[in-house]
Amino acid sequence: MENKNITLASFKSLLVLITFTMTLFAFGKASAQNKDLIVRVAKLQIDSAQLDSYNAALKEHAETAVRVEPGVITLYAVAEKENPTHIMVFEIYANAAAYQAHLQAPHFKKYKEVTKNMVKSLQLVETDPIVLAAKPKL
């Protein structure tokens, strides 16, 4: 019975400690990130004959980058309903170093190579965030 109580108490203490540490880490990370964030919007026009292929490549690239790169926070790509070849990508990187690392990542180089003849125009708009409000989970 003594063993059981010690074990229960130890597990509870451990859980509290883990929760506390994760909370501290999450807050520290969020505040450190916000002042260094790189936020920009890419505006693209895609060859209509290759739109499905382009969208598939973009989807694969965005999901991979957010999954494997610690500094790629958000890649939201949308097509205008009235003209689906007009695409906007809303991009958030943790900091300048994360953005530079992204440009060197193998999946980014592959995406650029695969899509180079599909993209008719590309405009990169550098921005300053005014407010980035979002629920914790989409």
Residues of the shown chain interacting with its own copies in the complex, contacts defined by CB under 8 A? 1, 3-4, 6-8, 11, 26, 29-30, 33-34, 39, 41, 55, 58-59, 62-63, 65-67, 72-82, 84, 87-88, 90, 92, 125-138
Residue among 104 and 126 whose Cβ is closer to its own copies: 126
Residue among 78 and 122 whose Cβ is closer to its own copies: 78
Q: Return the structure tokens found at 14.
A: 């451990």
Residue among 6 and 113 whose Cβ is closer to its own copies: 6
Query: In angstroms, what is the minimal distance from the CB of 95 to its own copies?
Result: 13
């690392």: which residue's tokens? Answer: 101
Query: In angstroms, what is the minimal distance from the CB of 60 to its own copies?
Result: 8
Please count the other Cβ atoms lying within 10 Å of the Cβ belonging to residue 87: 21
Residue among 106 and 128 whose Cβ is closer to its own copies: 128
* Buried b or exposed e, range 8-21, using 16+ CB within 10 angstroms: eeeeeeeeeeeeee
3-class secondary-structure state, position 91: strand
Query: In angstroms, what is the minimal distance from the CB of 64 to its own copies?
Result: 9
Query: In angstroms, what is the minimal distance from the CB of 107 to its own copies?
Result: 12
Residue among 8 and 97 whose Cβ is closer to its own copies: 8
Asked if 49 contacts 130 with a C-beta cutoff of 8 angstroms, the reply is no
Non-local (6+) Cβ contacts of 73 within 8 A are 33, 37, 66, 92, 93, 94
